[in-house]
Amino acid sequence: MSSKSAAAGTPVQKVSLLRILGPAHVWALGVGIVLVGEYTGWNFAADKGGTLAALIICWVIGLLYTSVAMIDSEVTSTVAAAGGQYAQAKHIVGPLMAFNVALYLVFAYTMLEVSNAILIGDTIKAYAGDGFSDWHYKGIIATVIVVLAALNYRGVLMTLNVNFVITAIAYVAIIVLFFSVQPWSQGTILKLNEMVTPENALPYGWIGVIAAFHWGIWYYLGIEGTTQAAEEVRSPARSLPYGTMAGMITLLIGASLTWYVCASLMPWQYLGFTYYPLLDAGKLTGSAMLENLMFIATILAALASANGCINDAARAWFSLGRDRYLPTWFAAVHPKFRTPYRSIVFLVPIALAFAFIANLGQAITFSILSGVLHYTFMSVNIIMFRNKWPLGTIRRGYTHPFHPLPAIVLLALCVVTYFAIFLGYGAQLTAMVVFYVIMSLWFHFYRYRYVKRGDQFTMPWPKPQGY
């Protein structure tokens, strides 16, 4: 590695991110970010539309995310660069779209990290009892954010090894809970037919199902984060589709099991209100072992999610710096740890500030909104990608089936989700869109002059059709 004292004229030694990850790490990154959604968040859909609505959107939003995973796998297996969808947007749509997508990514992941830290603080506060003051609550939040940031700073391999272990424990906990309540024997512990009746299954009718889309996103929000690891996996064309698809299958099973257990133990009024559906399910079984297991698993799931979010937000921010969309100062890679260390540290105080002032509902909503804007882009992106570079013109690691059906399904479900968010959080939706418009104007009229226009397009592709 060259040092500062290197003689003038000596070629600069390159420092890049370390290509060291495999499919299991991709799985750990994607499922790790998302699994917390089974432990909290999805159940607010029951408040909007009843318990049956929560199941309907579990599968309908599952369809949305399956489309996301398929589309993402195809494009990322071709555009294997840190920044994931940002790099995709840059090559396929253009710089302004790419800048916006990177902002969506940074906001979605940072707000999700904040939500996880708040969730861990709230969970521990609920168990800590008297004497646990605001100082202690904030101490837990700060510890989560700073310790995980330091782990990310230290290296991506250790970060995602940790994520793999804690995500696996949190997922196995759901399986253990499911089999402990004897799902084959309704009436022993589970009472689905008493909790969900024809009268209360959809208390607000189909408009309630539409409104439930808002929180249904939480079942799977973040699985697309696997693509941020594109520059650090050994074989992106193989690992990314494999890890992402395996992650989606894992989550679809986990979400269905979670709904079944929780819906069979709690009435919809409570299910839609509690912050801890799986922890409460553990309590309702009457087993102290299951309650403790779900308590630990709730915290581990939130830790895994926050850990993955720090990884992804930092890489999106780093990519913006590398292309001069932000100051190049952010594009520094640590010569020893091979991580985007300045981006990681820069985002720590921002996460801490939001975690100390925002509440869980606001943080989750900002994350969901940024996510849905991002998915809308993906539906347009894949259609442009296939039109500009049809099959056979460039090498793809994976080709998703039934094109353009997944893109159309994704776009349609995004539109429904916007409507659902508008019903509950119209002001936030409007404020967020205004924010992105202002940032776009800033980028277009000010920042883009600093971008080296030829340097930002790095994929060795042929000219797109029609150009």
Tokens of 128: 């800590």
Q: Which residue, 130 or 199, is less far from other proteins as judged by CB?
A: 130
CA atoms of 339 and 18, how far apart (whole Å):
8
CA atoms of 32 and 276, how far apart (whole Å):
18
Q: Work out how close the CB of 389 gets to other proteins at its nearest, in angstroms, rounded to a whole number.
A: 16
Q: Which residue, 322 or 396, is less far from other proteins as judged by CB?
A: 322
Read off the DSSP letter of residue 394. B
Q: Work out how close the CB of 80 gets to other proteins at its nearest, in angstroms, rounded to a whole number.
A: 7
Q: How many CA atoms lie within 13 A of 118 on its CB side?
A: 23
Q: Which residue, 267 or 464, is less far from other proteins as judged by CB?
A: 464
Q: Which residue, 256 or 456, is less far from other proteins as judged by CB?
A: 456
Q: Which residue has the tokens 């008297």?
A: 130
Q: Which residue, 133 or 393, is less far from other proteins as judged by CB?
A: 133
Beta bridge partners of 394: 391
Smallest CA-to-CA distance from 112 within 228, 211, 212 is with 228
Q: Which residue, 143 or 430, is less far from other proteins as judged by CB?
A: 143
* SS3 label, residue 380: helix
Tokens of 65: 């995310």
Cα-Cα-Cα-Cα torsion 220, 225, 226, 227, nearest 10 degrees, comes to 140
Q: Which residue, 81 or 118, is less far from other proteins as judged by CB?
A: 81
What are the residues binding other proteins (CB under 8 A)? 1-4, 6, 12-17, 19, 80-83, 87, 124, 127-129, 131-132, 135-137, 139-140, 142-143, 145-147, 149-150, 153, 231, 319, 321-323, 328-329, 331-336, 341-342, 345, 348, 456, 458-460
Outline where 77-198 has alpha helix (H).
Answer: 85-92, 95-128, 134-154, 156-180, 192-195
Q: Work out how close the CB of 183 gets to other proteins at its nearest, in angstroms, rounded to a whole number.
A: 33
Q: Work out how close the CB of 21 gets to other proteins at its nearest, in angstroms, rounded to a whole number.
A: 13
Q: Work out how close the CB of 12 gets to other proteins at its nearest, in angstroms, rounded to a whole number.
A: 5
Whether 325 and 102 have beta carbons less than 8 Å apart is answered as yes
Q: Which residue, 96 or 409, is less far from other proteins as judged by CB?
A: 96
Q: Work out how close the CB of 83 gets to other proteins at its nearest, in angstroms, rounded to a whole number.
A: 8
CA atoms of 313 and 49, how far apart (whole Å):
32
Whether 108 and 397 have beta carbons less than 8 Å apart is answered as no
Q: Work out how close the CB of 153 gets to other proteins at its nearest, in angstroms, rounded to a whole number.
A: 6
CA atoms of 404 and 386, how far apart (whole Å):
9
Cα-Cα-Cα-Cα torsion 263, 267, 270, 274, nearest 10 degrees, comes to -10
Within 8 A by CB and 6+ apart from 197, the residues are: none
Across 199-243, the runs of DSSP E, i.e. the strands, are: none
Tokens of 297: 């698993």
Q: Work out how close the CB of 331 gets to other proteins at its nearest, in angstroms, rounded to a whole number.
A: 5
Whether 276 and 80 have beta carbons less than 8 Å apart is answered as no
Q: Which residue, 133 or 186, is less far from other proteins as judged by CB?
A: 133
Q: Work out how close the CB of 77 gets to other proteins at its nearest, in angstroms, rounded to a whole number.
A: 13
Q: Work out how close the CB of 366 gets to other proteins at its nearest, in angstroms, rounded to a whole number.
A: 24
CA atoms of 161 and 232, how far apart (whole Å):
14
Tokens of 294: 């779900």
CA atoms of 188 and 192, how far apart (whole Å):
11
Q: Which residue, 142 or 409, is less far from other proteins as judged by CB?
A: 142
Q: Work out how close the CB of 325 gets to other proteins at its nearest, in angstroms, rounded to a whole number.
A: 12
Q: Which residue, 31 or 87, is less far from other proteins as judged by CB?
A: 87
Read off the DSSP letter of residue 4. T
CA atoms of 302 and 119, how far apart (whole Å):
7
